[in-house]
Chain A
Amino acid sequence: MTADLLVPMFVTVIGAATPLLFAALGELVTERSGVLNLGVEGMMLAGAVTGFGTVVATGSHTLGMVAAAVAGAGMALLFAVLTLSLLANQVATGLALTIFGIGLSALIGARYVGTPIPAMPKLDLPGFTDLPVLGPILFGQDALVYLSLAATAGVAWFLSRSRAGRILRACGESDISAHSIGYHVIRIRYLAVLFGGALSGLGGACLSLSVTPMWIEGMTAGRGWIALALVAFASWRPGRLLAGAYLFGGVTIIQLYLQGSGLVQIPAQVMNMLPYLATIALLTVIAGGAWRGRLDAPACLGKPFSPPS
């Protein structure tokens, strides 16, 4: 294979990985604080349609990104009020958020079907972007790609090095201890859930603004759920999450290239099953692997907490 085939392939891998990375990174922070939000798919769709609508209305991709993050956080706020203040079951509420988000985004998006928007501008650094092979990969991406990488580094630093990050983790590992030394567990979890929603919204915006600059009903096609699986695959660590998202993006793209190459005579639908089957395989490997037990979820994940009076 030559560079002129590999480079566009790598660029599409990045396109497939970035939405997953955003959504999974947000969920990772949420889960580290002890909250399981299964509504990622719904929040991504809300972000995708809001970001798209904002670009249609204003022409600004920056505003589109901001709006997508706000929409995702808005959806997350609904979830937070129900689960953190009203102590509703987190699994049921997350499912409701997804069902609601699919319906709401389709309702809002009905008027945008078939509307074209310009794709996000790509970085163009004279002298760097035209470097052979590495140039377009490293210096020719759009803002969302660089933002996703910066966010991963930021979250990794925040969780392992910062004081606030350690407090957040304490809430996820032992809510009652965090509460007894005087931290506001519920307030911290609210912030973590909102952050997760904002990042899911950005993940959705990657799809509608950058990967395929258009609005299609239900365009996330299960990526929110794959993001949830990636968090477990990454054993709640940002570095592994980055690797997982790109590995996954790779699987998705390689099957597309295999379909396009005509080398394999397999129906397209069978190839399209691969990402979902790969997710199941990954989950099984990490759950049954030799390193089981060292990769445990945050101890308080999914458990409601109400401060003892």
Chain B
Amino acid sequence: MAIRIEKRAAASLPLLYATPLLALGLTLLAGVVLFLALGVDAGAALYHIFIEPFETLSSIGEVLIKAAPLVMIGIGLAIGFRANVWNIGAEGQLTLGAVASGGVALAFWHETGVWIFPLMVLAGILGGMAWAAIPAFLKARFNVNEILTSLMLTYVAALFLSTLVYGPWKDPQGFNFPQSRMFNDSETLSLLVEGTRIHAGVPAAIVIALLAYVLLERTVTGFEIRVAGLAPAAARHAGFRENRLVWLSFLVSGGLAGLAGTLEVAGPIGQLVPVITPGYGFTAIIVAFLGRLHPIGILASGLLMALTYVGGENAQIAVGLPRAATGMFQGLLLFFLLATDFLARYRVRIAARAEARP
């Protein structure tokens, strides 16, 4: 008997969609084992993570407002990942988006008007794009590895935000806490559904997913992106300009991350604080892969990841599950997904050794 591995001519479509579910199942299984090892009541923990968030309207709202930034960033990253452009510094671009839109909000804190919020959104998107433009320029001009530069800039962005809120942007009436003034009513998102914190970011995320779907599946640029990722040599031969895709990927993903940062500070937070998200920029990498780099898939995977945040917080309070467990589960989920991917892309044949080879 010999085990032979054959590459499938084309990845099996049913399996390609089934493997995220299989990976989720395996992660749950691993989770139960881990809960037992930690001495946590596994049944209760799973209930608090996966069921409790759906029990009240307000916590459903929490899932949705956490899913919105994850979906936006995930879609931006997916466009790059498809073209083999690896922006992993979305967290930094999100931070700069928050800084830019927060700067606008603070500059006009004593003014009101419907024009302020659009200006904040514009500043946020441009802030994220500007931060993403650095690795894009270095990649396009000098061929510097974009993985490392975009990640290094995440640390710089976090320090930059911290410089501002500990220094010039600190609230003068804030009892010396490292945070800015609260934004005024014109500068914060109004709530769409009573009893929840759902804001305009949620429908915006859905619209962005649909637009991305059209871009990727129905335009020439989308075709170029897919060819560049699947067959770089063919793309070069066809005369697609690689650098254009580098710029496009970074500007789109940076802009979307900046938008997500804007919605966070103008929405649930309402001011600038030293840490804006629990790592949405990194979690969005998992969201992108779990959603198969497909905009509609990313809508689903963004919701699932948001669930782990909300449910993870519930489980922290209810059964004392450590905060770090959420991150670990997200890592495990990506591992299992990459492992089960194998089934979709390869065929495992168990064959007698004597069988003639084709």
Contacts and interface: CB of A to CB of B under 8 A. Distances in A.
Given A86-B339, A91-B86, A96 B334 contact: yes
Given A86-B342, A270-B159, A287 B143 contact: yes
Nearest to A270: B163
A107 B167 CA distance: 33
A225 B334 contact: no
Nearest to A278: B152
Contacts of A87: 342, 345-346
Interface string B145-161: 10111011101100110
B148 A99 contact: no
Contact of A267 (B143, B167, B328, B334): B167
B159 A269 contact: yes
Interface stretch (B121-129, B265-273, B282-290): B282-290
B155 A107 contact: no
A110 B5 contact: no
A99 B334 contact: yes
A100 interface: yes
Given A89-B338, A276-B156, A217 B324 contact: yes
A86 B342 CA distance: 6
A226 B154 CA distance: 13
A15 to B, nearest CB: 20
Instruction: Determine chain A's interface SS by DSSP, over half rule.
Output: helix
Interface string B280-324: 001001100100000000000000000000000000000000111
B143 A279 contact: no
Interface in A105-162: 105-107, 110
Given A225-B148, A269-B163, A273-B155, A92 B289 contact: yes
Contacts of B149: 280, 283
Contacts of A229: 145, 148, 152
- Sort chain A's interface into a size bin: 35 or more
Contacts of A272: 159
A93 B148 contact: no
A99 B282 contact: yes
Contacts of A106: 322-324, 327-328
Given A88-B341, A89-B338, A110-B322, A96 B156 contact: no
A92 B342 CA distance: 14
B331 A104 contact: yes
Contact of A225 (B151, B335, B341): B151
A74 interface: no
Interface residues of B, number: 52
Contacts of B88: 95
Interface in A14-63: 38, 42
A170 B156 CA distance: 38
Contacts of B328: 100, 103-104, 106-107
Nearest to B34: A107
B136 to A, nearest CB: 13
Nearest to B84: A91
A138 B37 CA distance: 45
Contacts of A110: 322, 324
Given A96-B334, A280-B138, A103 B148 contact: no
A104 B341 CA distance: 23
A168 interface: no
A222 B7 CA distance: 37
Contacts of B6: 309
A107 B143 CA distance: 38
B357 interface: yes
A280 B5 contact: no
A95 B81 CA distance: 13
A284 B152 CA distance: 13
B93 to A, nearest CB: 15
Interface of B: 4-7, 38, 86, 88, 134, 138, 141-145, 147-149, 151-153, 155-156, 159-160, 162-163, 166-167, 282, 285-286, 289, 322-332, 334-335, 338-339, 341-342, 345-346, 357
Interface of A: 38, 42, 78, 81-82, 86-89, 91-93, 95-107, 110, 217, 221-222, 225-226, 228-229, 232, 267, 269-270, 272-273, 276-277, 279-280, 283-284, 287-288, 306, 309
